[in-house]
Amino acid sequence: MDFWERMLDQTLSRMITEGTLDVTYFSGTRKSYGRNTRVQADMRLRDDRIARALCLRSEMALGEGYVDGQIETDDLFAMQSVLLMNKGMDNLPLPARILFRMQFAARRFIQANTPVSARRNAAHHYDLTDELFALFLDEDRQYTCAYFSEPGMTLEEAQTAKRHHIARKLLIEPGMRVLDIGCGWGGMGRTLARDYGAKVTGITLSVNQAEYANARAKDEGLDAVYHLLDYRKMQDSFDRIVTVGMLEHVGLPQFKNYFGQVKTLLKPDGVALTHCVMRNTPPSLPSGWLVKYVFPGGYAPALSEVMPVMEKAGLKITDMEIWRGHYAKTLHEWAARTKANAKRIVEMHDEKFLRMWLYYLEGAEAIFYYGDQCNFQLQMAHNIFDVPVTRDYMADATDIRMMEPPF
């Protein structure tokens, strides 16, 4: 073992206490780390430079090394799970700890997400070929956490359950004007227009999504229209505002603008809902690898970073629900469909793209099982009595208990 392999060996010896990680170094040395068999994983280093990279740029080097073929494993999900179970600042090599602290200090600048950068960031991911997304998403192209409310549900059933769960929370009535911020391919809006009689306006920064959503709405004869527009430029008023999987792209410095805009656009008796990924730990940094290769500008905030901004905007929190494990299962389904269509994806892109995509999906699945992220649903209103005072209506829309203040 050379110097960098010995340094990596020392780090892993100190770090791995849950699960087992078997490592084959480039030099041929084999080491096993961990003291139990909760999860067994392996890692093979196929390049003489990768041990050094892992010591200096741990998280980034792991992703890049796997995509480039410098790191191999028999079970990508297991490898990432073991590393996440044992993740902690004290376990990282000193250079990686220093880099983390520098990036954390500069995170507001890094996550600026101006209108120009927001459009560029959206195009980087969501304007990939429509065929790619069709290969692993459900038929309605829901690219957010599904709701597995019953055992044995398919991905399609769970995504449908998610849309109706949100619709019930919004208390939609026929003819209501609904704004869908970050509308994606229009699935949420189609459900609200088709099944609840809403008049939907959707906005997105993706050309592909806007074109697809408008075409589907026209084909189905729905009262729904989708615009290529930044939420900061929207001018109108709406009975309901929904945001599904978009807050993660807003960027920490823009939260004030985002929630301020929701307050401005929401009618006095309106209801808004934000469905998003957040961490249930103190603020941290997004994955550097994920930001560089998959979601530029992306950030899953801590609850403590969101609530004060909502309060200052003047929005009242009327309900908060936390989905634990649902996104992990959603990502597992997406990864399984990606693997089933691996040959076609390689033909469309290349082998490295497939490895990158699977590293993203299975790494995210591991995060929702063993990391610090969950899916949150935040319901907001101007007036706390504009929504029912019990939660029964979320399961049965016919049982709505309203309450009025005495004065």
pLDDT in tens, 107-119: 555 555 556 555 5
Q: pLDDT value at position 284? A: 83
Q: What is the mean pLDDT of residues 91-118?
A: 54
Q: Is the pLDDT of residue 395 over 90?
A: no
Residue 402 clears pLDDT 60, i.e. is over it: no
The yes-or-no verdict on residue 83 having pLDDT over 90 is yes
**Cα-flanking dihedrals φ and ψ of residue 7, to 5°?**
-65, -40
pLDDT at 35: 81
Judge whether residue 134 has pLDDT over 70: yes
* 175 φ, ψ (degrees, to nearest 5): 90, -10
Amino acid found at 244: V
**Rounded mean pLDDT of 218-225?**
98
| Residue that wins the pLDDT comparison between 208 and 108 | 208
Contact, 222 vs 199, CB < 8 A?
A: no
Confidence of residue 97 (pLDDT cuts 50, 70, 90): low
Question: Using an 8 Å Cβ cutoff, are 321 and 377 in contact?
Answer: yes
Confidence bin at 123 (pLDDT 50/70/90): very low
Does the pLDDT value for residue 89 go beyond 50?
A: no
The residue count of the chain comes to: 407
- For the chain, the C-alpha Rg in angstroms (whole number) is 23
Instruction: For the chain, give the secondary structure using H, E and C.
Output: CCHHHHHHHHHHHHHCCCCEEEEECCCCCEEEECCCCCCEEEEEECCCCHHHHHHHCHHHHHHHHHHCCCEECCCHHHHHHHHHHCCCHHHCCHHHHHHHHHHHHCHHHHCCCCHHHHHHHHHHHHCCCHHHHHHHCCCCCCCCCCCCCCCCCCHHHHHHHHHHHHHHHHCCCCCCEEEEECCCCCHHHHHHHHHHCCEEEEEECCHHHHHHHHHHHHHHCCCEEEEECCHHHCCCCEEEEEEECCHHHCCHHHHHHHHHHHHHHEEEEEEEEEEEEEECCCCCCCCHHHHHHCCCCCCCCEHHHHHHHHHHHCCEEEEEEEECCHHHHHHHHHHHHHHHCHHHHHHHCCHHHHHHHHHHHHHHHHHHHHCCEEEEEEEEECCHHHCCCCCHHHCCCCCCCCCCCCC
Higher-confidence position of 156 and 123: 156
- 271-324 residue pLDDT tens: 999 999 999 898 888 888 998 899 888 889 999 999 999 999 999 999 999 999
Question: What is the rounded average pLDDT of the residues 223-243?
Answer: 97
- Which tokens go with 87? 């993740």
Give the residue among 272, 199, 260 at the shortest CA–CA distance from 232: 260
Q: Could you tell me the two tokens for 132?
A: 């790619």
- Rounded CA-CA distance 52/26 in Å is 11
Q: How many CA atoms lie within 13 A of 103 on its CB side?
A: 15
Average pLDDT of 27-32?
A: 97
Q: What does the CA dihedral 254, 246, 101, 83 come to, rounded to 10 degrees?
A: 170
Residue 163 in this model has a pLDDT that exceeds 90: yes
What is the distance between the alpha carbons of residues 261 and 192, in angstroms, rounded to a whole number?
Answer: 22
- Segment 335-383, tens digit of pLDDT: 999 999 999 999 999 999 999 999 999 999 999 999 999 999 999 999 9
The pLDDT, as a whole number, for residue 407 is 45
Residue 167 reports pLDDT greater than 60: yes
Fold of 3-105: Nonspecific Lipid-transfer Protein; Chain A (3.30.1050)
Q: Using CA atoms, how far apart are residues 237 and 296, in angstroms rounded to an integer?
A: 30
Torsion angle, CA of 292/84/244/171, rounded to 10 degrees? -170
Q: CA dist 264 to 238, 259, 267, 313, Å?
A: 10, 9, 8, 9
Q: Among 13-27, 84-98, 216-230, where is mean pLDDT lowest?
A: 84-98
Residue 101 has pLDDT above 90, yes or no: no
Q: Are 169 and 394 in contact (CB under 8 A)?
A: yes
- Mean pLDDT of all residues belonging to the chain: 89
pLDDT of residue 104: 47
Q: What tokens does 162 get?
A: 């998610």
Considering the domain delimited by 110-394, tell me its CATH architecture. Answer: 3-Layer(aba) Sandwich (3.40)
CA angle 107, 113, 115 (to 5 degrees): 165
Identical fold, 3-105 and 110-394 = no
Per-domain residue ranges for the chain?
3-105, 110-394
pTM: predicted TM-score of the whole model, two decimal places: 0.89
Identify the band that residue 16 occupies on the pLDDT scale cut at 50, 70 and 90. very high
> Which residues lie below 8 Å from residue 289, measured CB to CB, with a gap of 6+?
59, 60, 62, 63, 64
**Average pLDDT of the residues in 253-280:** 96
Q: How far apart are CA 369 and CA 81, in angstroms?
A: 8
User: Residue 51 has which token pair?
Assistant: 């041990």
